[in-house]
Amino acid sequence: MGKKFRDRKDGKLLRKLDSMHYIMPLMYPNRCDNEACMSLCIDLTAANEYLAKKNSPTPEYKYNLFQLVLTAMLKTITLRPKMNYFIANGSMYERNNLTAAFTVKKVFSDNGGEALARIYAKEDDSIDTIHNEIYRQVSFCRSDSKDQSTESMDFIQKLPFKRFIGRVARWLDRHGWMPSSVIATDPYYCSVVLTNLGSLKLDAGYHHLTNWGTNSVFCVIGMIKKRPFYDDDGKVTMRDSVRLSLTIDERIADGYYYAKTLRLLRHLIENPELLELPLKEEVDY
């Protein structure tokens, strides 16, 4: 079906909404005023065994927890499609693409530059194809090349009248008319943005959404550390675990939908062999 009136180039207008979800964007127009913050503590016993098995042939680019979480997020969004909705200019849209974004540090130093990476996922993707695409993106970002968005921002920085340019950019953003070259790798135009604070020896914490762009889901990955887990008899064992912190636009769904979404995300990470299935394939959880 082709583009209809009031559709955006990055999303289709949702025309059949219940009255509450129709009214909420009009009453609460700013994404940053409607953040729901949730966290998960995930047992990594099965994930560690799975990663050790995947890396036993010593691939050129090893499988790691970040790739596993990113794939689990993409599969969760595929199977829970409201997580790929966004609100712009007072209306709700279904995003045309499934995308994940993250920042790549070129060199781990105070003066090390950063580059923007974006993964375009397809319904038939699995952890293996996404692992390969992450490798390609990270290799590009750590080369001397610049991503499209950074090149565009470098050009805009040289222009005069920055306040006027800012007003025009916000107007274009609100209506979905930002040039594709400017937002080509902008993380805030993606289905989910991820940041791996664990790689910096930090635990997961809150990260805001932005009123710029269309991103409705932000995921922070913390440090891997030993934490206590209790069985049904109250016995405790110390296991490797990771804490995920998610910030979500609460206007796009209700608490029940989010609760099931988090259960699915946990189930996928704690049963990582499910990530070898195509993203679109349903799982029991």
For residue 284, being part of any structural domain is answered with no
For residue 97, being part of any structural domain is answered with yes
pLDDT single digits (tens) 155-211: 777 777 788 888 998 999 999 999 888 888 899 999 999 999 999 999 999 999 999
- Sole residue written with tokens 């989010």: 258
**What is the pTM for the complete model shown?**
0.90
Report the 10 Å Cβ neighbour count for 182. Answer: 19
For residue 6, being part of any structural domain is answered with no
Residue 8 DSSP symbol: B
For residue 5, being part of any structural domain is answered with no
Contact 241, 43 (CB under 8 A): yes
Tell me, what CATH number does 21's domain have? 3.30.559.10
pLDDT single digits (tens) 198-251: 999 999 999 999 999 999 999 999 999 999 999 899 999 999 999 999 999 999
- Looking at the structure of the chain, the number of domains it has is 1
For residue 108, being part of any structural domain is answered with yes
For residue 240, being part of any structural domain is answered with yes
Range of the domain at 118: 11-276
Sorted by sequence, the CB contacts under 8 Å of residue 187 that are 6+ apart come out as 101, 102, 103, 116, 118, 193, 213, 215
pLDDT single digits (tens) 79-102: 999 999 999 999 999 999 999 999
For residue 206, being part of any structural domain is answered with yes
For residue 1, being part of any structural domain is answered with no
